[in-house]
Amino acid sequence: MSDISFVRTEMLPEKEPPASTVGFIGWAKANLFSSVLNSVLTILSIVLVLFVLSGVLPWAFQSVWNASSLTECREILKATYGEHHEGACWAVINDRWVQLVFGFYPPYPIDPTMYLGNPPEGAWPAYFRPIATFVLILAAVAPVLFDKLPRKMLIITAIFPFAMPWLMWGGTVWFPVAAALGFAIGYFAFKYLADIVGELAGLIIAVVLPVIWWLFLMGPFADLMQSIIALDIPVVESRKFGGFTVSIFIGVVAIVGSLPIGIVLALGRQSDLLIVKALCVGFIEFIRGVPLITLLFVASTLLNIFLPPGTEFDIILRVLIMVTLFASAYMAEVIRGGLAALPRGQYEGADSLGLNYWQAQRLIIMPQALKISIPGIVSNFIGIFKDTTLVSIIAILDPLGLTNGIRADAAWNGIYWELFAFIAIVFFVFCFSMSRYSMYLERKLKTSH
């Protein structure tokens, strides 16, 4: 009988793997040249990359940054790099970059001493108001996106929907205050009336009262307050809005505005009430079924026809309304996904404790559903932000619209690639970083559940 018992007396030492599987060569062999097809693909890709880079890099880097016109630019290129060099003329960005960022927004609308007229030139950092708007957006969004920040920053988030339009358009400060007051009226009406007349009736009153306030009383109130205590900053007309400011402005307003509408639509779509559901589904599917450009046509040609005679909303406001409606339909679908992801038990838990529908939604369902939806909301925002370029078709001077204007100037007639490249890079940086953030969030949500 052969001896099958075996006992190891000495442990084997760890050995290096064979040289062909480690190091760069091993890696390259395993990853790049593992088969004929793979090798061909690798070589083709490398050739392609080299070809593109050899074309783009000299163009992008052997270029001109300071010139006042395309002809001057070409001359400098000729003088520096020789007769046949094709170089980029980034000077156009240098020359027009203020316009690409701020459009025709007046540079000095506000003065440090709060003197409320047109200030002396050079008195204050230029473009204070749009820059303050950007800072405000960041400060308002940060506490929503990063939960490590102090919760008190949410106050900025609450103020910002009213402060932002005021900073951009100007006018009396009493107007946004009066608008905010409408929400306060609704809140207090609900708080004190709900116990007396019941939840549903309280809610209806809490919706109707602010609407009456906004439609009929807000204007006179703001005028009255303005006549008592005049607090205003110079008005800037919307046709002066332009460049990336207008893209960001439209994108942010659309997302902020679409959030409440989207929540209502999503709840309506989830509801058991047939008519409510049909109305919400109808709205959502209609908006999602037509291209954004048709809605922009509505904004540019039809919206003033739909409104009471004499209402003259300016074009930016009309575009804001339509883009917000557009975004809300998509937002509703994102939030509906978040609602569907919540287990039924959460509704039952809330019901069994005696919370009513709105309390359950506000305290239990929405906080969780919105948290799950944040990645979707961010992707929505990326989509809307990219789609703001469409406004150039209805003659709003977003960056893409400005390129035509810049080319129309004799000095820069015939310049294409540098402008497109600059706009593309800016959009890429914004959208790419946001999409990375939303991926990070998705991973975080996956691990925390």
List the interface residues with another protein, window 328-357 (CB under 8 A): 343, 345-346, 348-356
Piece in contact with another protein (CB under 8 A), picked from 125-133, 196-204, 218-226, 321-329: 196-204
CB of 30 to another protein, least distance (A): 8
Compute the distance between CA of residue 67 and CA of residue 74 in angstroms, rounded to an integer: 9
Q: Which of 142, 264, 276, 281 binds another protein (CB under 8 A)?
A: 276
Under the binding rule (CB under 8 A), the answer on residue 440 touching another protein is no
Residue whose tokens read 């205003």: 232
CB of 395 to another protein, least distance (A): 12
The residue (of 121 and 272) whose beta carbon lies closer to another protein is: 272
The residue (of 270 and 435) whose beta carbon lies closer to another protein is: 435
Cα 101-180-133 angle, rounded to 5 deg: 15
The residue (of 177 and 279) whose beta carbon lies closer to another protein is: 279
Piece in contact with another protein (CB under 8 A), picked from 117-125, 180-188, 198-206, 226-234: 198-206
One-letter amino acid of 375: P
Q: Which of 308, 312, 408, 410 binds another protein (CB under 8 A)?
A: 308
Strands (E), 129-183: 171-172
Pairing of strands 171-172, 232-233: antiparallel
The answer to whether the beta carbons of residues 396 and 315 sit under 8 Å apart is: yes
Under the binding rule (CB under 8 A), the answer on residue 204 touching another protein is yes
Q: Give the residue among 241, 287, 238, 245 at the shortest CA–CA distance from 262.
A: 287
Q: Give the residue among 372, 365, 330 at the shortest CA–CA distance from 348.
A: 365
Under the binding rule (CB under 8 A), the answer on residue 200 touching another protein is yes
Structure tokens at 248: 């960001």
Could you tell me how many residues of this chain bind another protein (CB under 8 A)? 79
CB of 404 to another protein, least distance (A): 9
Backbone torsion region of residue 85, taken as left when φ is above 0, otherwise alpha when ψ lies between -120 and 50, otherwise beta:
beta
The residue (of 130 and 268) whose beta carbon lies closer to another protein is: 268
The residue (of 6 and 416) whose beta carbon lies closer to another protein is: 416
Compute the distance between CA of residue 188 and CA of residue 183 in angstroms, rounded to an integer: 9
Q: Which of 41, 57, 158, 230 binds another protein (CB under 8 A)?
A: 41
Structure tokens at 368: 């969780």
Site for another protein in 365-424 (CB under 8 A): 367-368, 371, 382, 386-390, 392-393, 400, 403, 416-417, 420, 423-424
DSSP 271-306: -S-HHHHHHHHHHHHHHHHS-HHHHHHIIIIIHHHH
Piece in contact with another protein (CB under 8 A), picked from 1-9, 139-147, 256-264, 294-302: 294-302
CB of 331 to another protein, least distance (A): 16
Under the binding rule (CB under 8 A), the answer on residue 304 touching another protein is yes
Q: What are phi and psi of 405, to 5 degrees?
A: -65, -40
The answer to whether the beta carbons of residues 66 and 94 sit under 8 Å apart is: yes
CB of 142 to another protein, least distance (A): 20
Q: Which residues of 362-388 are buried (b: 16+ CB within 10 A; e: fewer)?
A: eebbbeebbebbbbbbbbbbbebbebb
Under the binding rule (CB under 8 A), the answer on residue 298 touching another protein is yes
Under the binding rule (CB under 8 A), the answer on residue 114 touching another protein is no
CB of 53 to another protein, least distance (A): 12
Structure tokens at 33: 């040249």
CB of 229 to another protein, least distance (A): 35
Those residues with Cβ within 8 angstroms of residue 342's Cβ, 6 or more apart along the chain or in another chain = 365, 368, 369, 372
Distances (CA, A) of 217 to 152, 173, 179, 181, 189: 32, 16, 10, 11, 16
The residue (of 31 and 118) whose beta carbon lies closer to another protein is: 31
Q: Which of 155, 363, 395, 439 binds another protein (CB under 8 A)?
A: 363
Show the site string, 131-170: x = touches another protein by CB under 8 A, - = not: ----------------------------------------
The residue (of 117 and 309) whose beta carbon lies closer to another protein is: 309
